């Protein structure tokens, strides 16, 4: 069970898991209306069946239809031999599992801690809980201790890093520092803060070019920033490769995150990440070792500190090189695809 195939880090991981398990004849159930559906083709593979039911169940006015589908799907699942139910941040998954027979394994994947107060209510039905960052795993362990839960619940918790392919890349020399934001135009990402940093840099005539990839027009009037470049959504891997190669810096000012895949990608390309020190990001981005962190919490101070981080790189070009080289080494060490696949197969009970 997945929400949809919108562009983003979590759907990308969900698609990778789909391909990993394609020889198991998986059925992918999408339950939430997509905003762009640009990753849909990533889920398509021989042996994979896709059932998109959002048009029937993602309507509060027709909530009774949602109940009907819960019963229909649960009844069908309960009749399947040797099946497993997996949910990747899908609320509908949690609505289904109370109706699943007890002998059928249920496993969940968590990329953010947003739903932890809700999902703790289902832990007796979970055979395993997977977390893509250590920070979220720690949050759950704290939650369990606060509720005095016994040890056997802790044994069901698993941390599995996301994975990327390490690209062949070479250092880039740009006349102006090329800074990118890559991601969704959602409130969580606080894209207007990056736009405010761009305005401040422009007013100070700093040699930095701001580039935005994603549907940021949802949260930003792009016409107010003629000194920035807006690419919109890009779903072409070759074009994204060129963008990653062109970049010097990735900037994120999110209010909360798991570990965005875009951070992993930029590290693998040997680029500098400047990010707010939220959620699991400080587990991977170590300040002035393999990237730069923004420690401020108020929006005004985030803008000021973000601008200062850019000035650090402009004033010391060797720092950009040093941070980028270490970021690439850390990506190679931490984001192995072989380890990712083995750990998932082990937890899902498909170890070879």
Can you give the pLDDT at residue 280?
Answer: 82
Q: What angle do CA 111, 115, 119 make, to 5 degrees?
A: 105
**pLDDT, position 336:** 84
Report if residue 3 sits inside a domain: no
Split into its structural domains, the chain has a count of 2
Is residue 204 scored above 70 in pLDDT? yes
Pair 250, 110 in one domain: no
In terms of domains, do 206 and 329 share one? yes
φ, ψ (nearest 5 deg) of residue 278? -120, 155
Within a domain: 136: yes
What is residue 352's predicted lDDT score, i.e. its pLDDT?
66
Query: Same domain for 150 and 230?
Result: no
Q: How far, in Å, CA of 334 to CA of 162, rounded?
A: 9
Residue 46 is assigned to a structural domain of this protein: yes
Sign of torsion over alpha carbons 137, 139, 143, 146: positive
Domain that holds residue 71: 9-163+336-348
Whether the Cβ atoms of residue 294 and residue 303 lie closer than 8 Å to each other: no
Q: Is the pLDDT of residue 244 over 80?
A: yes
Flag whether 295 is in a domain: yes
Domain shared by 128 and 209, yes or no: no
Same domain, 143 and 185: no
Could you tell me which residues come within 8 angstroms of residue 108 by beta carbon, excluding any fewer than 6 positions away? 86, 87, 88, 93, 119, 122, 126, 128, 129, 130
pLDDT exceeds 90 at position 346: yes
Within a domain: residue 135? yes
Say whether both 184 and 266 belong to one domain.
yes
pLDDT confidence of residue 331: 93
Q: What is the pTM of this model?
A: 0.77
Distance CA 156, CA 93 (A): 18
What band does 168 get if pLDDT is binned at 50, 70 and 90?
confident
In angstroms, how far is CA 155 from the centroid of its own chain?
25
What are the pLDDT digits (tens) for 245-268? 999 999 999 998 866 789 999 999
- CATH number assigned to the domain comprising residue 221: 3.40.50.2000
């Amino acid at each position: 069970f997945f929400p949809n195939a919108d562009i983003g880090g979590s759907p990308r991981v969900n698609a990778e898991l789909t391909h990993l398990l394609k020889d198991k004849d998986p059925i992918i159930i999408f339950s939430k209306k997509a905003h762009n559906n640009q990753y849909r083709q990533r889920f398509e593979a021989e042996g994979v069946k896709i059932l998109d039911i959002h048009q029937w169940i993602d309507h509060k006015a027709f909530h009774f239809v949602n109940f009907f589908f819960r019963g229909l799907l649960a009844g069908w699942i309960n009749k399947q031999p040797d099946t497993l139910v997996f949910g990747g941040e899908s609320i509908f998954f949690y609505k289904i599992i109370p109706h699943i027979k007890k002998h059928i394994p249920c496993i969940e994947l968590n990329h953010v801690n947003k739903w932890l107060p809700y999902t703790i209510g289902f832990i007796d039905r979970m055979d395993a809980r997977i977390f893509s960052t250590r920070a979220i795993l720690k949050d759950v362990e704290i939650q369990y201790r606060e509720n005095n839960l016994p040890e056997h619940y802790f044994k069901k918790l698993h941390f599995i890093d996301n994975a990327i392919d390490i690209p062949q890349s070479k250092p880039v020399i740009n006349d102006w520092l090329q800074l990118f934001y890559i991601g969704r135009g959602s409130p969580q990402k606080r894209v207007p803060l990056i736009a405010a940093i761009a305005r401040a840099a422009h007013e100070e005539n700093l040699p930095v070019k701001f580039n935005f990839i994603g549907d940021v027009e949802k949260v930003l009037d792009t016409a107010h920033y003629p000194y920035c470049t807006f690419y919109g959504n890009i779903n072409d891997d070759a074009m994204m490769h060129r963008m990653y190669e062109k970049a010097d810096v990735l900037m994120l000012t999110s209010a909360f995150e798991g570990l965005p895949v875009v951070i992993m990608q930029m590290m693998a390309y040997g680029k500098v990440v400047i990010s707010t020190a939220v959620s699991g990001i400080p587990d991977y981005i170590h300040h002035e070792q393999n990237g730069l962190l923004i420690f401020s919490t108020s929006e005004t101070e985030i803008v000021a500190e973000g601008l200062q981080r850019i000035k650090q790189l402009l004033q010391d070009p060797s720092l950009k090189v040093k941070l980028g080289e270490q970021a690439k080494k850390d990506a190679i060490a931490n984001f192995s695809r072989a380890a990712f696949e083995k750990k998932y197969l082990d937890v899902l009970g498909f170890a070879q």
